[in-house]
Structure formats: C-alpha cells, structure tokens
Chains A and B, each alone.
Chain A
C-alpha cells in the first residue's frame, strides 16, 4: 500500500544481538520496515527468526543485555537509545502490545475494570470513576457482551478469547498510534480467533490504529494484513502488498512456504505437498551469503558468497532479497483459484 503521508513507524537497519556464554548471537540483522497510519502489516516467519525480538525492540522492551543498533522512529521521534522515562511514556500511550498468552499479562487478583482503569488513571490522569466508565466502553468496543457486569469480574472467570479481548481493550485504552500484536490468536481456537481478528480490523477502521501483527499462520496473514513482511533467520527477505505477495512471491523461501501449505480442495490421494528440504537455521550467522542458501533449490555459488540486497522487484512496494527471484510462475494458491 503506497501512502502519501509519512509512515507512523519507520524502522531502519535495526539489528539486535545478545551476548551469551558461547559468544554473541545476532537475533535481528538489518531489518527495515514502515507502518503507515491505519495500516495492518503482517509479519511471518519460522520460530526463532527474530519476529518477537524485532517487535520488542520497537518500544525498548528487550532485556538490558540486548545490543540494539539502527533506528526506530515514531512520528519522527527516535526511540533507539531514548531514555527509559521517555520510553515509558511511549509505551501504552503511543505504542501498545498484546501477546500470545493473555493470562500471564493480566493481574489475577485485580478485577478487569481495575486493570483497565489503572492504565487510564496513570496515563490519562482520569478519576477512578471516569476510568471505570471508560473501561466499560472499551470492553464494549472489543465485543465483550454485558460489559457493565464483566467489568467487575476477574481474569480467571473469563475464557481465553475473552481475556485476549480484555488485553486489547487495555492496549487501546489510551488510543495508541501503533498496536503490536505478537501471535495474538496462536493459543486460541479458530472460532475464537475469527472474533479477535475481527476486533483488530474494527479498531483500525474506527480508530485508525496502525497494527503490526506477528503470526506464523498464512491464513491469518491472508485474512487481515494489508502488507506482509517475511522474515527468515533474522532478516527481512521479502515485503509486499498482501495480494501481490501471495500471487507473485519473489523470494524462494516465500514461494516455498506458500506451496508447502495444503490448499483447499487438495488431497494426499492426488497431490503431494512441496517440501522445503533441510533445517530451519537458528540465526543470521552468514554475513556473506543468502541465509536460505542451504535449503534453496535455486542456490548457486553467488548465493553462498554474497548476501542479496533487499531490492524493488516489479515496483517499489514489492521488495525481495534474492539473487534469482521467482518469475511469475503460478503458486499453488493461484492454481486452486482456476
């Protein structure tokens, strides 16, 4: 999606490494991405490829041992290296987070209303009474039925889906510009997931919130994202508007991922899934190679000796880091559509 206005969030060349006993591990290696106002960007990638570390580094949520370089600008304000007091103001008010397991982020001994209310009392200096009334509104906004009663309930009295709705209500309490949702539906059943995705989309439509949603589920991406960022071993390997990415994946990993997923209407009796051979690499450990080279059917010497740059392919809004990007061979999804 090309938007004329400057992005709300602009990440440039972000790298994160952690010192460990066996040396420094590089978790994120030169990630750049933009989030426009009211845009939903989906981030996909395998376990350990650096999605959560990227997300946490945006508002300085990583442990103190993390070494973060590069730039994260929120409406022009630099957040990398900002003071903790400044970051605390940003968190909650301007950038809010929701995570996979809502129970661990909720306080079990406080009512739902008190927890949402506290956010409002601290950040918006609301009175306790006003905060409670606003909490009821927020719970209604995120689709909790009989919010006026639920507001006095405790987290353990709620189902997983309801708790995630409470987390979202808390996250949007102060009207943040950016909502970072790290696997918000992974622990939920599909019937409940559909409701949560609906709430996120609705918030974007009504409040204009920009959303960065992290998932490993291509169905969730197809459902909710305007634009997609594909990560592999600590790097962004492809970025494109959602339709373009699914119809014309350019990076060989993206293409492999799309054809590895079972498609509706296909059965093992007549069809084989395309496998991606080899192991998932743990980290970006090869500065002078494509990190996918070990598993890529098209890899050659060049791929093993030089890292491909992230470049525009077929338009500036579609970028991929691949020496031999896929041409427009149809993907399994396209085949299924025929």
Chain B
C-alpha cells in the first residue's frame, strides 16, 4: 500500500513583496484530516502563507504541494483541476462576499470557477444541503449578504469553501470579526464539519483560546519564519521557544482568580520590520534571554518530537530555559 500524500506540504516557502520579506523560508506539513493552527503577531506573514497555498499569490521561492501535487507555479489554467482541493475562508465575511450576488450564487461559485457547467436546478440542489450543513435555512440562498448577520455571513463563506469537498481548508481568522456570543457557534461549526468531513485545516488566528480548542498541531510564526512547531498538548504544556512562552503568558485567561496569579512576560513593544529583519535570531530585539550569539548566528531548528524550536538555548533533548520563570542573568552564566 502506498502511503497517502499529506494534505499540505510547504517547503522553504519565500514570499517577498518588493523589499518586504513577508514570508522567509517556511516549511510546514499538514497530514490529512488534521488541524494545524498558525499563530503569531499581526504582520508576521500568516495570511501570506495562506494566500500562497491557495495561489492567490505566486510564491517567490519554495514549493507548495497539495495532496502530493506541486502547485507552486502552475498557470491559472493548469491550476483549475486542483482548485477544488483547497479552499479559503477569510476574516471579514462582509468584505469577502460579493454584495451583488445572491447567497445561492456565492455558495455555488467555486463550482463555476472549476469550469463545471451546471443548470440552475442542479445548482440549487447542490447549494441547499451546503447551507443546511452550516446551519442556515435553504431560503437564505435567495437573500443578499447584507441581509444577514456577521455570523450568518461567515457561515455562508464556510459553505462556499466546502462545496467543492476540499481536502484542505485555509481558515484565516474566521472568528475575529464576529461578536463573542457568535464566535462559539462558528468554532463549533468548524469543529463539527472537520470531524464529519475530515478535511485538513490550516487555522490562522491570533486567538490562543480558539487555538487550544480547535487545533491538533500548532506552528508559531515570527517575522516571516516559524520559530516553533509541535502538538497542541506539547506547545501548551511545554513551549520551548522564548517567543512562544511569552505569547502564552501574555494572553489573558477569562478567569480573574487564575489571571491574578499569572505573570505576563513583558517584551519590549518595538516590533522589528519585515523590511529589515534583525540579523541572527529575528526575535533577539525583544527576547529577554538574548545574548551575543543571537545577533550573529541564525539559530538552527532543534527537533522536539514531531516538531521543532529554533533557539540557541534549546538543548538537543528539547529542553531549555523558560522566560516565564528564568532570571536572564542566571540562564547565561
């Protein structure tokens, strides 16, 4: 039996927009049916990775394989047969849905783009179960996006993304523009659909509580590069990279009693620019543990289980200091 190819394999992905080094050497694999969360600050390049995968932009270098097929440089026409294999849901459902199209037309659009000619009757018959699957009544097909709430519009984008039965779903901040009371239903929906249909998912977000809820694996991005990858359990229990540790310590938990006992690691907030990233380790300008070598030498990736961390202080066995407890002067002595 030949092993099934992974849903997504990204190798050494580079995406430069002129002088902006948005993505600078990212390698990431998502096996079939698994959810990988991509987290990091705004501007770190998360959305750009997603846009390269769905080929909204053509990468500067590196490769993107979807279900084993190299799609990195396929022309529009040659990309078409593979279009259905990967879909994307964007952050702002209001901006990503064409206001002049009926919901039914929006949901069916991927079929049209894939070059399938279908009658109206067929289209309606295909759309109705999609809407039902995302918890919307079939009548919604005859409405316009502006007649729906934010949560409903996000359901419409999810229905559109899933109509082609993709193997891989890119969800770029799917709940960030929604009200808190509505976010839960969209997270539940994604979890249910993912379990039932079994698509793999690249879940891009900055909401760490949603990451813990939905993800199997986590990839942490900083200034165009991955600094750590690993299973959800390992990353939350034993984050190895100082940035991951700081990120987890800074996200407040919605529980005042617990929150009072937590000490966020305060990083300086002078974020370096993707135009001119720092030499050596890109996190060094904010890292509480930075030392001489960090400025001159790019840290290698140390394997930790199925994942890795890229920091000089992580030892070959995957252990290292924790910025949440370490006194910087002791770590280096």
Contacts of A192 in B (CB 8 A): 267, 269, 271
A274 near B: Cβ within 8 Å?
Answer: yes
With contact pairs A262-B210, A267-B232 given, residues A272 and B188 touching in the complex (Cβ less than 8 Å) = yes
Given contacts A246-B256, A266-B212, 18 further A-B contacts (CB under 8 A): A162-B270, A190-B250, A191-B41, A195-B267, A198-B264, A219-B209, A219-B253, A222-B253, A260-B181, A261-B180, A261-B209, A262-B184, A267-B232, A268-B214, A273-B184, A273-B188, A275-B188, A280-B182
Say yes or no: A242 contacts B256, CB within 8 Å: yes
State how many angstroms separate the Cβ of A227 from the closest Cβ of chain B: 11
- Within the complex, the shortest CB–CB distance from A96 to chain B, in Å, comes to 21
The residues in B between 190 and 231 inclusive whose CB is less than 8 angstroms from any CB of A are 191, 194-195, 206, 208-210, 212-214
Show the binding face of A for B, using Cβ within 8 Å.
46-47, 145, 159-162, 165, 189-195, 197-198, 216-223, 225, 242-243, 246-247, 253, 256-258, 260-268, 271-277, 279-280, 295, 333, 336-337
When distances are taken between beta carbons in the complex, the residues of chain B under 8 Å from A165 are: 269
Q: Known contacts A190-B251, A219-B251, A261-B209; is A274 also within 8 Å of B184 by CB?
A: yes
In the complex the two chains form, is A264's CB within 8 Å of B179's CB?
no
Q: Tell me whether A261 and B254 are in contact in the complex, defined as CB-CB below 8 angstroms, given that A162-B270, A216-B180, A267-B212 are known contacts.
A: yes
Partner of A191, one of B149, B182, B214, B250: B250
Dominant secondary structure at the A interface: helix
- Which of B213, B264, B269: most chain A Cβ within 10 A? B269
Structural contact, A190 and B247, CB atoms closer than 8 A: yes
Using Cβ atoms and an 8 Å threshold, which residues of chain A touch B182?
276, 280
Chain B interface residues toward A at CB < 8 A: 41-42, 149, 151, 179-185, 187-188, 191, 194-195, 206, 208-210, 212-214, 232, 236, 246-247, 249-259, 264-271, 286
Q: Is the CB of B149 within 8 A of A279?
A: yes
Which residues of the other chain, B, contact A256 by a CB distance below 8 angstroms?
181
Chain A residues contacting B247 (CB-CB under 8 Å) are 190-191
Which of A47, A161, A336 makes the CB contact (< 8 A) with B255? Answer: A336
Whether B206 contacts A218 by the Cβ 8 Å rule is: no
Q: What residues on A are CB-neighbors of B255 within 8 Å?
A: 222, 246, 263, 333, 336-337
Mostly helix, strand, loop or mixed at chain B's interface? Answer: helix
B188 near A194 with CB under 8 A, answer no
For the complex of A and B, list the 10 residue pairs with the smallest distance between their C-beta atoms, beginning with the closest: A161-B269, A219-B252, A268-B191, A218-B254, A260-B184, A194-B264, A262-B213, A273-B184, A194-B250, A223-B252
Q: How far is the CA of A333 from the CA of B255 in the complex (A)?
A: 6
Contact B185 A275 (CB under 8 A): yes
- A260–B271 alpha-carbon span in the complex (Å): 33
With a cutoff of 8 Å between Cβ atoms, the chain B residues found around residue A277 in the complex are: 185
B263 nearest CB neighbor, chain A only: A194
B258–A193 contact, CB under 8 A? no
